[in-house]
Amino acid sequence: MKKAVLITGASAGIGLATAKYLADQGYQVFGTTRSITKRQAVVDEAKAKYGDQLQFIELDVTKDESVKSAISDVMNKAGHLDAVVCNAGSGIYGTVEEMPMAMVYSQFETNYFGYLRVLQAVIPSMRERKAGHIVLLSSLGGVVCVPFQSHYSAGKYAVEGLTQGLRQELYGTGVKVAAIRPGDIQTEFNDTTYLNIPENSPYKKRCQACWDVINKNMKIAPKPILVAKKIHKVLKSKNPKAYYTAADFVSSLLPILFPLMTSKLKEKILRIFYGIDFK
């Protein structure tokens, strides 16, 4: 019997690459999007290549009812879930001082509470079956904060904590939990990020300079297949680690080297890297 996996946010980027890769590996994949109509080309292409082995369903992680009905749809179709990949996410960029509160709530609604809604819907059946893999998309931004991405990073730090907590709670139940920490990966992420760099902002010069570097880095970043393969590695593992980095070689060193440095040194390195080491 094929292993059934649910991937949230599978219509683009990391989620789409993972959906295709896992379908290629023989998994029964359920990928989600908020709107099949808006993603019709992606859905049609998947249908043509994979048939029912990669099915798209509508799910908005910010809405309780949407999550409940999507999970019950998957359960009706597959009978059970062997794995869930909480991946659907978005970004916001700007200063702490100037970011509209509504956008901060919206960021956490998707990137943290969105994971939680899906987890609460899938964990009971995994626990009862005494089996399952839960993969949470964190970020290297959950290890160190990229300047002007405080709220995105805060959400990913929350996911890092959630990973540790869940691993302890589910210890001995047969349900395995791991987080993936991608570095920069070439996806739609920057295009959909909510940007708040007001023209008259006192931070304008540094905030814009940093965003320019972030965008430049994205253009030369690894493709999402790198992350898809790391997720597959976790799904194959009987006893996964808590955290897996999926990044280019230099960025992969970050979780190893940064804990050895003082805060001031880390901050200086980041300012230089992002071209904002000026006042």
Ligand X SMILES: NC(=O)c1ccc[n+]([C@@H]2O[C@H](COP(=O)([O-])OP(=O)(O)OC[C@H]3O[C@@H](n4cnc5c(N)ncnc54)[C@H](OP(=O)(O)O)[C@@H]3O)[C@@H](O)[C@H]2O)c1
The residues binding ligand X (CB under 6 A) are: 8-15, 33-34, 39, 59-62, 87-90, 110, 114, 137, 139, 182, 184-185, 187-189, 192
Q: Which amino acid is at 55?
A: Q
How far apart are the C-alpha atoms of 81 and 103, rounded to whole Å?
33
Residue 202 C-beta: closest distance to ligand X, Å: 28
How far apart are the C-alpha atoms of 114 and 159, rounded to whole Å?
11
Residue 116 C-beta: closest distance to ligand X, Å: 13
Q: Is 194 a catalytic residue?
A: no
What is the maximum span of the chain, computed from C-alpha positions, in angstroms?
A: 60
Nearest Cα to 134, choosing from 180, 175, 164? 175
How far apart are the C-alpha atoms of 114 and 120, rounded to whole Å?
10
For residue 183, CA distances in Å to 72, 163, 224, 246 come to 33, 18, 10, 6
C-beta neighbour count of 200 within 10 angstroms: 5
92 DSSP β-pair partners = 194
Asked if residues 125 and 80 have their Cβ atoms less than 8 Å apart, the reply is yes
Residue 6 C-beta: closest distance to ligand X, Å: 12
Residue 59 C-beta: closest distance to ligand X, Å: 6
- What does DSSP assign to residue 93? E
Nearer to ligand X, 106 or 173 (CB): 106
> In 106-258, at which residue ranges do the beta strands (DSSP E only) sit?
132-137, 175-182, 194-196, 243-246
Catalytic residue among 27, 93, 152, 203: 152
Question: Which residues are annotated as catalytic?
Answer: 152
